[in-house]
């Protein structure tokens, strides 16, 4: 008999970790007859339903065996016995997973599971009509049915719309149902869909007058859908909402809204080459920085907006240097906060490297300034990131300093080995034709070696950043040659072991 909550919590956690349904059932049977109701609720939610959620995730990732869905049904059955009531929402989720598993091989049986799932959700909503998760899933399943059953598509789509209209949230699902295209459209459905779209857009116009931040939910949902599905009507609506967002103003906007809005607009500005979107993005980030001056990532986001602005202006045949200068000013004005945060500090170093290559930029940073900042970033990251070393390598290559380039490449290889194979390959492939033979040969050897050790490789570098810093240039390149031989021998040992101990 379980006598205290700590014991209950520990035993359930162990059972969940072991995916042990029988242990959860045993625990549920060991509860005292007078156990508090919250103990029983805990066993249901943190025991049976957590195990079910783990299994659902494993199923989506393709980790479960053929009997995985049957095991999920077994978990639900045991949970219902313990709880004393049906769990239709959970049953519907499993039925939907059965549908997805059969959709491409047996569409007839798949549709049976889809209809059963809808029936379970209908039952759940009769008991709990305000269950938003059940209603959202039911709307999604009706919409799925509409796409599969052409003859009854209008009826299913109308049911999906009825459900989704009862939810204030679920903006993305609502956009999907309202705007998605049909392979074999029914004229009556298309007419109803067009009417529903117009009604929705009128309703949104009214809601935006009292809730201006709603525009960002609309845009985030619509853009996410358009990234993987072409919907001409939705594309037109998103374009309209993007233009409306240029007039958005909310001095009480939260930092999270300002960040989301700025990132969305900067992304769309780059995609569509629209400087007005970038102007609005800059406004959002500036407002964020005023509210939260200790957040350095927004400094980077704002600088990137002006850098993107310069790129667009350059493509239009004019000089974007004025906007590059704005980006640099942003970093310099907030340098103190940037320098105590690794990610924005690294981006600052990348930006300084970029500036160094701009020959027509007045007062561009010197080589020493760029390298000093790159080393500062390297120390801040304790040698766990390859980016600062790559900056130093590229600077050496640009300045035709072969010895220094070989030194930094060797350091990178000693710290990261196979983790930077693509970066090493890119360096090799982008070397100019006139590059010194010693550099070309070194990179060619590194690329071939990293490919050679790939099948049996295990990341286990031998030198820390502090230890690397103690080595001379000659000692560094020699250390990499020795490390290559160590890794080759380790490969041979692993290969021999696998040959002697084959997996049966």
Predicted confidence (pLDDT) per residue in 187-229, tens digit: 899 999 999 999 999 999 999 999 999 999 999 999 999 998 9
Q: Is 481 helix (H, G, I), strand (E, B) or coil?
A: helix
Distance CA 398, CA 394 (A): 6
Give me the pLDDT at residue 249, please: 93
Give me the pLDDT at residue 490, please: 86
For the chain, what is the mean pLDDT?
Answer: 93
Give me the pLDDT at residue 6, please: 82
Q: What is the DSSP letter of 182?
A: -
Residue 339 contacts residue 345 (beta carbons within 8 Å): yes
Q: What is the mean pLDDT of residues 332-351?
A: 95
Give residue for tokens 């929402």.
89
Distance CA 479, CA 449 (A): 15
Q: Alpha helices of 340-418 — where are they, by DSSP H?
A: 342-356, 367-380, 387-398, 402-416
- pLDDT bracket for residue 503 (50, 70, 90): low
For 68-120, the three-class secondary structure string (H helix, E strand, C coil) is HHHHHHHHHHHHHHHHCCCCHHHHHHHHHHHHHHHCCCCHHHHHHHHHHHHHH
Predicted confidence (pLDDT) per residue in 354-383, tens digit: 999 998 898 899 999 999 999 999 999 999
Predicted confidence (pLDDT) per residue in 247-277, tens digit: 999 999 999 999 999 999 999 999 999 999 9
- pLDDT bracket for residue 154 (50, 70, 90): very high
Give me the pLDDT at residue 496, please: 81
Residue 111 C-beta-side C-alpha neighbours within 13 Å: 12
Give me the pLDDT at residue 33, please: 80
Q: What is the chain's length?
A: 504
- pLDDT bracket for residue 5 (50, 70, 90): confident
Residue 96 contacts residue 121 (beta carbons within 8 Å): no
Predicted confidence (pLDDT) per residue in 65-96, tens digit: 778 899 999 999 999 999 898 999 999 999 99
Distance CA 348, CA 297 (A): 10
Give residue for tokens 């549908």.
99
3-17, 86-100, 345-359, 467-481: segment of lowest average pLDDT: 3-17
Give me the pLDDT at residue 502, please: 72
Indicate whether 504 pLDDT > 60: no
Q: What is the DSSP letter of 366?
A: P
Q: Please report, for residues 173, 224, 235, 260, 261, the alpha-carbon distance to residue 264 in angstroms, rounded to integers and kept in the order given.
A: 19, 11, 15, 6, 5
Task: Report which of 335, 276, 265 is spatially closest to residue 300, judged by C-alpha positions.
Answer: 335
124-138, 268-282, 472-486, 489-503: segment of lowest average pLDDT: 489-503
- C-alpha 484: how far from its chain's center? 35
Give residue for tokens 């039952």.
123
Q: How many CB atoms lie within 10 A of CB 273?
A: 14
């Amino acid at each position: 008999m379980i006598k205290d909550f700590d014991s209950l919590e520990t035993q359930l956690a162990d059972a969940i970790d072991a995916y042990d349904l029988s242990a959860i059932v045993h625990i549920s049977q060991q509860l005292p007859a007078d156990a508090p109701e919250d103990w029983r609720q805990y066993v249901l939610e943190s025991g049976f339903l957590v195990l079910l959620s783990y299994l659902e995730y494993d199923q989506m990732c393709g980790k479960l065996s053929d009997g995985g869905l049957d095991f999920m049904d077994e978990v639900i059955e045991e949970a219902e016995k313990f709880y004393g009531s049906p769990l239709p929402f959970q049953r519907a989720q499993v039925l939907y997973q059965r549908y997805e598993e059969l959709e491409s091989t047996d569409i007839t049986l798949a549709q049976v599971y889809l209809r059963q799932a809808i029936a379970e959700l209908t039952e759940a909503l009769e008991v709990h009509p305000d269950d938003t998760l059940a209603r959202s899933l039911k709307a999604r399943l009706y919409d799925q049915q509409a796409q599969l059953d052409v003859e009854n598509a209008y009826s299913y789509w109308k049911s999906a719309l009825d459900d989704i209209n009862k939810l204030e949230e679920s903006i993305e699902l609502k956009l999907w149902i309202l705007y998605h295209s049909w392979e074999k459209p029914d004229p009556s459905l298309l007419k109803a869909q067009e009417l529903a779209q117009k009604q929705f857009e009128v309703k949104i116009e009214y809601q935006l007058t009292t809730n201006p931040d709603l525009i960002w939910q609309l845009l985030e949902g619509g853009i996410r859908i358009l990234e993987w599905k072409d919907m001409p009507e939705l594309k037109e609506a998103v374009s309209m909402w993007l233009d409306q967002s240029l007039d958005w103003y909310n001095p009480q906007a939260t930092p999270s809204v300002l960040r989301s809005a700025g990132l969305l607009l900067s992304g769309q500005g780059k995609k569509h080459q629209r400087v007005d979107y970038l102007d609005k993005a800059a406004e959002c980030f500036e407002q964020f920085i005023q509210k939260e001056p200790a957040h350095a990532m927004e400094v980077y986001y704002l600088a990137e907006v002006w850098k993107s602005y310069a790129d667009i202006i350059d493509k239009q045949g004019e000089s974007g240097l004025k906007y590059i200068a704005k980006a640099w000013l942003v970093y310099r004005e907030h340098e103190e906060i940037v320098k105590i945060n690794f990610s924005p500090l690294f981006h600052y170093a990348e930006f300084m490297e970029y500036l160094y290559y701009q020959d027509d930029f007045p007062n561009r940073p010197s080589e020493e300034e760029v390298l000093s900042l790159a080393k500062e970033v390297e120390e801040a990251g304790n040698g766990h990131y390859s980016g600062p070393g790559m900056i130093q390598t590229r600077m050496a290559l640009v300045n035709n300093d072969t010895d220094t380039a070989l030194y930094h490449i060797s350091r990178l290889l000693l710290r990261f080995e196979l983790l930077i194979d693509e970066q090493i390959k890119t360096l090799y492939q982008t070397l100019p034709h006139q590059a010194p033979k010693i550099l070309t040969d070194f990179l060619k050897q590194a690329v071939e070696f990293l490919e050679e050790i790939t099948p049996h490789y295990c990341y286990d570098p031998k030198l820390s950043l502090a230890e690397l810093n103690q080595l001379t240039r000659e000692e560094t390149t020699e250390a990499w040659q020795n490390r290559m031989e160590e890794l080759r021998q380790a490969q041979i040992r692993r290969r021999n072991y696998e040959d002697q101990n084959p997996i049966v």
